[in-house]
Amino acid sequence: MRGVFSESAVLRGLGRRGPWLFDAVIAVATTGLAWVVGSQYFPDPWGPDLLAYALTAAVFLPLAARRAAPVAVMAASTGALAAYLAAGYDQLALNFWGPLLALYTVASMRPPRVTGACLVAVAPVLFWSGTVSGLSLPIALAETLLLPATAWAFGETGRKLADRNERLAAVTEQLRAEQRKRTEQAIVTERLRIARELHDVVAHHMSVIAMQTGLASYVLDADPDTARTALNVVSGTSREALDEMRHMLDLLRASDDPGADVDGDSQQPAPGLDGLDDLISRVRAAGVEVESTVVGTPRPLPSGLQLTVYRVIQEALTNVLKHGGQCRAWVSVTWHPRQVVVRIDDDGTQAGDPAPGGHGVIGMRERARLYGGTLTAGSAPEGGFAVRLTLPTPEPLST
């Protein structure tokens, strides 16, 4: 493991030093290539003239720092070329290209006004080199104007491209941050909505317990069997209520807004499985052909689980109404010994099908997760959209 960590550290270090290492290699390579050309140039090779080699190195070696200080590197390379020419050398080898590469770097990293000042500074030296090497005046002028202009154009294009990439990266990061914020807000909103509904469910359980406890107390002596049945109902209902309360507290503990008010003021009972037929009828009346099937033997579920099944089917059918266009939908509820599986499919062909990361799907996933279930949503292989909910179901309450 130590070797793996050491290798990773080396790779990270090389990644940070990559551009500087590349520039150093370029500087050394161009220096060596210029030495080879100068020593073998015909008919006037440098021979053992160490000054020529030293001045040539002074033209190219500063390029190793061209990203850190492009203007300074430009000045150093141009000054070295001027010193080379002042020393009486009329054999340029490759030295002419050192200031041009430095000018390209300035253009790619600095604003146009800085590049223009550098171009004005380097142009006389480039013209001097053209005349020293025996070029005619028109060719020397053309070389002095065209080659630096070309280096500037390439560098300016690279600078604009880099600026655009930086702006795109900044905008992309901003969009990601906004998307994360919207997603987090949607999760918090949905959690609080679920908590309010669970509050109503628990309040319903408490009402049942209070009524059954009063009945048991009233008939305890006169009708022990009825009192015992009432107490059994109280026992089962209290266990169910405690389980619902635990889910609600877990939800609020995970919420980003723990101080929010979750007191529900709705006096309507929370919808459940007995309301599915009415829900499907309303969707049919809105223009969507819906078929529903039930596989297996239905059994009573805690109110919170019923509410989750109802809300998931409601949200999925709402998405069909919004995005499916003229289509059909199928709702199936399959009962297994320890779980219930709900699937909502449609054959919509419009491009507006909700994405798996949409806020409605986020809410459905939060509901499924609250009860230890799973929910998947996405485009079906055969077309349309499919939502699949799997929820574990508790053992039936004893009476």
Q: Is the peptide bond before 99 cis (omega within 30 degrees of 0)?
A: no
Tokens of 100: 């041009």
Cα separation, 273 vs 278, in Å, equals 10
Handedness of CA 162, 165, 170, 171 (dihedral sign): positive
Tell me what pLDDT residue 376 has: 92
- The answer to whether residues 319 and 354 touch, using CB atoms and an 8 Å cutoff, is yes
Cα separation, 203 vs 301, in Å, equals 17
Q: What is the DSSP letter of 1?
A: -
Helix pair 276-285, 303-323: axis angle to 10 deg? 10
Q: Which residues are CB-neighbours of 206 under 8 A, at least 6 positions away?
A: 241
Helix pair 303-323, 224-254: axis angle to 10 deg? 50
Q: Where are the beta strands (DSSP E) in 245-307?
A: 289-295
The percent of the chain in helix, strand and coil, each rounded to the nearest 5, is 65, 10, 25
Cα separation, 59 vs 126, in Å, equals 13
Q: Which residue has the tokens 């009476």?
A: 399
Tell me the whole-structure pTM to 2 decimals.
0.45
Tell me what pLDDT residue 208 has: 62
Digit-by-digit pLDDT tens for the chain (399 residues) are 444 444 444 435 544 566 888 888 989 999 999 898 888 876 778 878 899 899 999 999 999 998 889 999 999 999 999 998 898 887 777 888 899 999 999 999 888 889 888 888 888 888 888 888 777 888 888 888 888 888 888 888 888 888 888 899 888 898 888 888 887 887 777 777 766 666 656 655 666 677 677 777 877 777 888 878 777 777 776 776 676 666 666 655 554 443 344 344 444 456 778 888 888 887 776 677 899 999 998 888 887 788 889 888 988 887 887 776 678 899 999 999 899 999 999 987 644 445 444 556 777 888 888 888 999 998 888 888 899 999 998 765 444
Tell me what pLDDT residue 397 has: 47
Q: Which residue has the tokens 């959209």?
A: 385
Tell me what pLDDT residue 8 has: 46
Tokens of 277: 């037929």
3 state SS for 44-66: CCCCCCHHHHHHHHHHHHHHHHC
What is 273-392's CATH number?
A: 3.30.565.10
**pLDDT tens-place string over residues 26-45:** 899 999 998 988 888 767 78
Tell me what pLDDT residue 367 has: 80
Tell me what pLDDT residue 240 has: 66
Q: Is 370 left (phi over 0), alpha (psi -120 to 50) or beta?
A: alpha
Distance of CA 322 to the CA centre of its chain: 27
Tell me what pLDDT residue 11 has: 39
- The terminus-to-terminus CA distance of the chain in angstroms comes to 59
Cα separation, 310 vs 276, in Å, equals 7
Q: Which residues are CB-neighbours of 159 under 8 A, at least 6 positions away?
A: 107, 108, 109, 110
Pairing between strand 385-392 and 374-379?
A: antiparallel
Tokens of 394: 């508790």
User: What type of residue sits at position 152?
Assistant: W
The architecture that CATH gives domain 186-254 is: Up-down Bundle (1.20)
Domains of the chain: which residue ranges? 2-135, 186-254, 273-392
Helix (H, G, I), strand (E, B) or coil at 396: coil
- The answer to whether residues 104 and 151 touch, using CB atoms and an 8 Å cutoff, is yes
